[in-house]
Structure 1
Amino acid sequence: MTDLGIPTIPQQQHRDIGGGVGYAFNGQHFTIDPDADLDQVAATLHHPLSVIVQVTKRCNMDCGFCSEILQMPDPSLEQLATMQRSLDGVNRVFLSGGEPLFRKDFGDIVDIFHDGGHIVAVPTNAVYAKLHAPRMVGKVAYANVGLEGPRAITTRMRGDYDDIMAGVRAFQEHGIPLAMSAVVYRSSLTALPFTAQIGDVIGATKVKLILPLRKGNALGLPEHEFITQDEALAAFSRLEEKAAELQWSPALRMTTWTPENEGHMIVVEPNGTARAWPVYDAKDLWEDLGNVLEEPITEIWKRYRFKRNHLSKYVGRSIHTTAQGALTGKK
């Protein structure tokens, strides 16, 4: 039972996707045989493992690192239903933004994709969680809350820490599993242990650390806020040591922008345009792939040129990670 007396719906623990790939619900990540050949497995896939659908570009915050500042009209529920049908066979769909919970009809959007058989995840700043959490119960595999760490750091980089934490409590009260994402500046490196500790306290399955990309608001960041690859690896190594010492429960993950991660994400904008992201030599880091309002994702996947990078990133081969619970003995 949740704190509100809502029955907790048992989560499926594992889904077999095929080709040696699976999805672990207890850690909210894709799995693969450690000896599997990525090129061979990628050649067997007919769909992406995961797709990001921007249900809106609007947001209630104005994060200094945000790449998605260009506005366009929200898709209608009918258009989103068409997108869902086009994405048939995709295992996980992120209902993203902008801020997805900014839409008053977000519960209806969740229904469309959950009923379509997708694993639904929601990246969010959590400010509107209290409004939407009741409709998300049993349908959203996890909410991924953006939170850079302590109050002063989060408020400076993203928005009001207390509003975000109120949303986190609303998700907890409804039994919705949590993960965390934190964008890393040079000036926030010292906060990373506190960020991981917050993830441990709220019961997050994972804490994902992401470096900003030079697009949108991030074009205005001082150059010294962008850390190098070597600095990122050193920071992650120190965090691993702290995790072992302090026995944090969440898996720690860091994505750095290397050739192995280029173009690994497929993002569907509100108008249905599917793009590979980030493509380093492309305008705005986007590479057009097609439109899911006009053709199915299977056709777009055929001409997608980052299949290996997509698979490698999502099964954890091209990111830095610690296993959830490995440091505490949890399973």
Structure 2
Amino acid sequence: MRIIHHPVLANYYVTYRCNAKCSFCDIWEKPSPYIKLEDVIQNLKDLRRLGVNVVDFTGGEPLLHRQIDLFLGAAQEMGFITTLTTNGMLYPKWAERLKGKVDMLHFSLDSADKTEHDTGRGVACFDFVLESIQIAKSLGERPDILFTVFKHNLNQIERVYQEICLPNKLMLLLNPAFEYNQVETGEQLSEEELEYLVRFSKQKYVYLNEAFVQLRKDGGNHIDKPVCKAASTTLVISPENELVLPCYHLGAKTFPINGQLYEKYTSQEVKEQIALEGRLPACEGCTINCYMQPSFAVELNRYWWKALPSTLKYNLRKGTWKRMLS
């Protein structure tokens, strides 16, 4: 049963450019422009009209954009919850200007071993993450550690938790890796390994959306009865100022926005694309976390119930529940 009938999240790609070359991501290979401030302001106004609550300024590496602080500030002034994920390399440079403007700030860290983390990211960024943690804390910020989980780094979760998260009182966000397009992420986690993540997530300062685990046990999204509600829950805006449907990873259709995001999203041609969410051949078996999480939030089913405890745990810890209620 659908309980929320409007989009809740915007994935706003400020650029596809990145200063890392992660082995499990292909976005850094794309040529890309940078979004423009005037487009951002207009699009944020339209996102508000559409009912969106959260804006994720993403990339690529979002801190490559020289106006990222202005985007975040404008979004907060309009009442959005803001989120940003960074590899940490540029955060020390940006920290003062970002202070207080990111409600959910995530530093990517996949191992407590410097060599292992830097190898996976394709650049030497481990030390920047540790430096960024200390700078953020000194400014009164409360960042999270976003840990992308593969078979090969399962044994690092405990170390990251004990050596980095607990001493700094940071939330550890466990993000099971997913496959998409032609990007290979290695052998998928077994049911036993998924259960290990669930058990580990019961500890203080650890977040895992258990609906992610349930979906993987169920074989992912199925096109005959789709769990995915990507296009109706999440607006994807590209650096070219286009609306991308049904999601970034599939990107089957793009629509130039031209200052009319609200009109475009509510148009008949876009509604026809939204109707195909989770039903396209490429949607079979999909487990992409960033679209499944908002999908779990809008429909009352077993995934909604599975997601609820971790959602409450995180939002109570971060204090964002107050903004969501308002």
Instruction: Please give the alpha-carbon distance, in whole angstroms, between the structure 1 residues aligned to 2:64 and 2:252.
Output: 27
Partner SS state of residue 215, structure 1: coil
Q: CA deviation at 1:189?
A: 1.8
2:207 to 248, 251, 257: 251
Instruction: Please give the alpha-carbon distance, in whole angstroms, between the structure 2 residues aligned to 1:278 and 1:231.
Output: 30
- Alpha-carbon spacing, 1:61–1:172, altered in 2? closer, same or farther (3 Å): same
Instruction: Please give the alpha-carbon distance, in whole angstroms, between the structure 2 residues aligned to 1:287 and 1:90.
Output: 22
Note the alpha carbon deviations across 1:88-138, whole angstroms, 9 max, x for none: 242110111111111222222222322222111111112211222222222
Instruction: Please give the alpha-carbon distance, in whole angstroms, between the structure 1 residues aligned to 2:143 and 2:82.
Output: 13
Partner SS state of residue 94, structure 1: strand
- Alpha-carbon spacing, 1:122–1:325, altered in 2? closer, same or farther (3 Å): closer
Paired residues of 1:92 and 1:118 also in contact (CA < 8 A):
yes
Q: Does 1:75 find its partner at 2:64?
A: no
Note the alpha carbon deviations across 1:244-269, whole angstroms, 9 max, x for none: xxx43233336366216535354211
2:25 to 56, 66, 72: 66
Structure 1's unaligned 5+ residue stretches are: 1-37
- Alpha-carbon spacing, 1:233–1:150, altered in 2? closer, same or farther (3 Å): same
Instruction: Please give the alpha-carbon distance, in whole angstroms, between the structure 1 residues aligned to 2:15 and 2:130.
Output: 23
* 1:160-171 equivalences in 2 (<5 Å): 160-171=125-136
TM-score w.r.t. length of structure 1: 0.70
Q: Does 1:111 find its partner at 2:107?
A: no
* 1:113-152 equivalences in 2 (<5 Å): 113-151=75-113, 152=115
Partner SS state of residue 131, structure 2: helix
Q: CA deviation at 1:299?
A: 5.2
Note the alpha carbon deviations across 1:15-63, whole angstroms, 9 max, x for none: xxxxxxxxxxxxxxxxxxxxxxx41x13xx33x1111101111111111
Instruction: Please give the alpha-carbon distance, in whole angstroms, between the structure 1 residues aligned to 2:14 and 2:160.
Output: 28
- Structure with greater helix share of residues: 2
2:157 to 192, 204, 218: 192
Residues matched between the structures, number: 273
Q: Does 1:210 find its partner at 2:164?
A: no
TM-score w.r.t. length of structure 2: 0.71
Partner SS state of residue 240, structure 2: coil
- Alpha-carbon spacing, 1:325–1:293, altered in 2? closer, same or farther (3 Å): closer
Q: CA deviation at 1:310?
A: 6.4
Paired residues of 1:183 and 1:209 also in contact (CA < 8 A):
yes
- Alpha-carbon spacing, 1:74–1:325, altered in 2? closer, same or farther (3 Å): closer
Instruction: Please give the alpha-carbon distance, in whole angstroms, between the structure 2 residues aligned to 1:178 and 1:121.
Output: 10
Q: Does 1:268 find its partner at 2:237?
A: yes
Paired residues of 2:173 and 2:206 also in contact (CA < 8 A):
yes
- Structure with greater strand share of residues: 1
Instruction: Please give the alpha-carbon distance, in whole angstroms, between the structure 2 residues aligned to 1:211 and 1:150.
Output: 18
Paired residues of 1:54 and 1:97 also in contact (CA < 8 A):
yes
* 1:1-331 equivalences in 2 (<5 Å): 38-39=1-2, 41-42=3-4, 45-46=5-6, 48-68=7-27, 69-88=29-48, 89-151=51-113, 152-158=115-121, 159=123, 160-197=125-162, 198-215=164-181, 218-219=183-184, 225-228=186-189, 230=191, 233-240=194-201, 243=202, 247-253=203-209, 255=212, 258-259=220-221, 262=228, 264=230, 265-276=234-245, 285-288=250-253, 290-297=255-262, 300=265, 303=271, 304-305=274-275, 306=277, 311-314=294-297, 317=304, 319=307, 322=310, 324=313
Paired residues of 1:129 and 1:168 also in contact (CA < 8 A):
no
